[in-house]
Amino acid sequence: MLMGQEERSDPSVIKEQSKLLFSSAYSAVLANIGTALIFYLLIIDSGISGYAGYWFVIFLGIAISRMAVTLRFNDEISAADLQRSLKLYFVTILLLSTAWGFAYVMQYQLGNDDVRNFTLLIYLGLVAASISTMSAWLPSMLAFVFPQLTMMVVILILEGEIVSYYTALAVLVYSMLMLVLAKNLNRNLIDSLELKSVNLNLIDNLNEEVEQRAQAQRELEKHQADLEKVVEERTQELVGINENLQREIDERQQVEQNLRFAEHYDQLTELPNRVLLLDRIKHAISSSAREEWMVAVLFLGIDRFKKINDSLGHAVGDKLLQQVASRLELLLREGDTVARNSGDEFVVVLERIDRANAAELVARKVIASLNDMFNIDDHDIHVGVSIGIAVFPFDGDGPQQLLESADTAMHRAKQKGGNNSQFYAEGMSKEIRDRLDMESRLRFAVDLNELFMVYQPQVDSITGETVGFEALIRWENPDLGLVRPDQFIPLLEENGMINSVGEWIIKDVVRFIQSGGAQDCRVSINLSARQCSQAGLGDFIHRVVNEYAIDPSKLEFELTESMLIDDFKSSTALITQLQDMGCTIALDDFGTGYTSMGYLAQLNIDVIKIDRSFITGIDSDDNLRKIVYAIIGMSQSLEIENVIEGVETAEELATVQALGGRVIQGYLYSKPLRRGAELEDWFSR
């Protein structure tokens, strides 16, 4: 409003200007009062002293009012109040300037040159000084300068002298200069104040922005934290729900499992119960039958269990049954089943066994294991067990029947005093036990050097020369004595040992040939059926023959007719391989099998051995003579050598010779001979 300054400056700049303006007011007022006092004192003794007194009082009043106006100012002053203060201030300055103007009028009336010069000096000084105190706000400067200036110039012109005109002009120019100076100062001041304000605003804005951003960031973080919390809570909830669900499922499964368990398992021992047992036997039968295995059902009755139960109490009885159960479980293979039938009866099912004696072996282990002392609640308890064994397919074709058979056998075991095992088929027991015994001894026979070979000479009955030997195995056991090969060769075949024992035989015979034990004679080795189907047998023989560097034509192998029929393909392959190597092949026990003439023609056999059953008593049996005559004739026409087995008497020999037989292997000449003395003795004769 005042000179339009408000319009272009912001309120804070005006405030700053006012502050500068008002703060300089004190010194300015004091300087004015001081100067006015000097002026008053200067003119007090003159003729105008009456006016002077009033003037000074009015002057003082104005000066003090000016001071009072500035007191209204403070930093918190409102824009409206400030405007009012500035207006008042403007008025007081205007009045002050007018007061000074009257001072010049007064001195004019006085007409004293010195005083006039002094007032001129005052004017110049006041205007100069006002620059520093009033340039902050130009209206105040104008208010201070113009009234006095006008009155000063008017008075100088009124004087009417050239000098005073010039003086007026000078005062005018001086005043204008001062105003321009003040204006410039004011401009700079406002600029810097504005700049300061702008900077402050900027800083304010900046701070504000920083604060806003910080606020925004804080809010964002808070939101995020809230969100995370919500997610976390929800997750927690879900986990809880899941856990509950899992627990429920587990519980349900547990219940189902318990139900199933109760249906199929015995609570006390946790073994399969009779229901599951019958099922297991059924399965065992169907899977074993398919591959021609056997299934053994062992029915176990704890001897004198009732007595233990009655004397030591049910609790002890129960614990005993539990311990029996765990011993049985420890004893058996994975595929086998141990079940509790009822009371003190347990059942063991052995699946996929190839020999019934495997059941007896297990029965022995069970007896041994249960015979060990039990310790229950500080009681040492000794129990025996009676075991009945039933074997599928011999003793029943269904679970129920097998169990009954085994049960019957168990009762027989009890009748025999307990703590033993019985097969359902009584005869089986002895035979199987013997075989089992022999078989377990046989396992160590090779290592214990209980096996050895004997050699039975084959003699040309016309020249008396030894043309060959048949190697025959012997087993001499300290307990069993001399065991016949007919007894243990089938065992070896059954349990598969024939392969390793067969290789041992071949090596032993080859070494015998190499050592010259047979002199220059051919030695024949018997091959069993299972051996012939052993992969790599031909290669093995080849290796051994090479290793000992013997003449392969000194080695003969005897095969039986039934072997040819069982596995014609692999037998032929073996025969060819051996003959290619240079060995000869003899067909053993000729005439007892089903050999067709076709085989003989196809197979290119070197030797046939006419079985002893055709020779024994041949001298008094026309039929035998006719058969042997035919065989000899056939072999001659096929150009196959023949060896007559089992000639025991001179009569038999004479008959055989008359039929064209020549090479004889029989007791008449010699029994199979041991290496060493017996053979040396043979050769020396």
List interacting residues with Ca ion (CB under 5 A).
526, 558, 588-589
* C-beta of 349 vs 643, nearer to ligand C2E: 643
CA distance 103 to 124: 14
Write the single-letter amino acid at 328.
Answer: L
Contact 410, 386 (CB under 8 A): yes
Site for ligand C2E, residues 620 to 679, rule: CB under 6 A: 645-646, 648, 665-667, 672
Considering the complex, state which of residue 304 and residue 612 has its C-beta at the smaller distance from ligand C2E: 612
What is the signed CA dihedral for 611, 614, 619, 623, rounded to 10 degrees? -150
Q: Which DSSP category does 484 fall into?
A: P
Separation between Cα atoms, residue 319 and residue 554, nearest integer Å:
70
Does 485 sit near ligand C2E (CB under 6 A)?
A: yes
Comparing CB distances to ligand C2E, the nearer of 97 and 642 is: 642
Task: Copy the structure tokens of residue 370.
Answer: 């249960």
For ligand C2E, give the closer residue by CB, 396 or 666.
666
Please identify, among the stretches 21-29, 257-265, 324-332, 484-492, the one whose residues bind ligand C2E according to the rule CB under 6 A.
Answer: 484-492
Q: Which of 456, 466, 584, 595 binds ligand C2E (CB under 6 A)?
A: 456
- Residue 615, Cα to own-chain centre: how many angstroms? 76
Q: What string marks each residue from 370 to 409 as x (binds ligand C2E by CB under 6 A) or -?
A: ----------------------------------------
What backbone torsions phi and psi does residue 516 show, to the nearest 5 degrees?
A: 80, 10
What does the alpha-carbon distance between residue 465 and residue 467 come to, in Å, rounded to a whole number?
A: 6
Judged by phi (left if over 0) then psi (alpha if -120 to 50, else beta), residue 40 lies in alpha
Q: Which entry of Ca ion, ligand C2E, none binds 485, CB below 5 to 8 A by partner kind?
A: ligand C2E
Nearer to Ca ion, 384 or 672 (CB): 672
Q: Is 151 helix (H, G, I), strand (E, B) or coil?
A: helix
Question: Which residue carries 């001894």 as its tokens?
Answer: 441
| Structural contact between residues 399 and 278, judged by C-beta atoms closer than 8 angstroms | yes
> For the window 525-564, what string marks contact with ligand C2E as x by the rule CB under 6 A?
-xxx------------------------------------
Q: Cβ distance 339 to 346 under 8 Å?
A: yes
Minimum distance of Ca ion from residue 486's CB (angstroms): 11
Residue 450 is a binding residue for ligand C2E (CB under 6 A) = no
At position 151, the amino acid (one-letter code) is M
What is the token pair recorded at 88? 């008042």
Whose Cβ is closer to ligand C2E: residue 432's or residue 525's?
525
Stretch that binds ligand C2E, among 16-24, 210-218, 521-529, 561-569 (CB under 6 A): 521-529
Q: Select from 285, 589, 590, 640 the one that contacts ligand C2E (CB under 6 A).
A: 589
Q: Is residue 457 within the footprint of ligand C2E (CB under 6 A)?
A: no
Contacted entry of ligand C2E, Ca ion, none for residue 528, CB cut-off 5 to 8 Å set by kind: ligand C2E
Residue 557's SS3 state is strand
171 φ, ψ (degrees, to nearest 5): -60, -40
Q: How far is the CB of 526 from ligand C2E (least distance, A)?
A: 3
Binding characters for ligand C2E, 495-514, by CB under 6 A (x = yes)? ----------x---------
| Residue 393 one-letter amino acid | P
What amino acid is encoded at 606 in this protein?
Answer: D
CB of 520 to Ca ion, least distance (A): 21
Shortest Cβ distance from residue 478 to ligand C2E (Å)? 20
Token pair 């015998």 is found at 512
Positions in the binding site for ligand C2E (CB under 6 A)? 456, 471-473, 484-486, 489, 505, 526-528, 588-589, 612, 645-646, 648, 665-667, 672
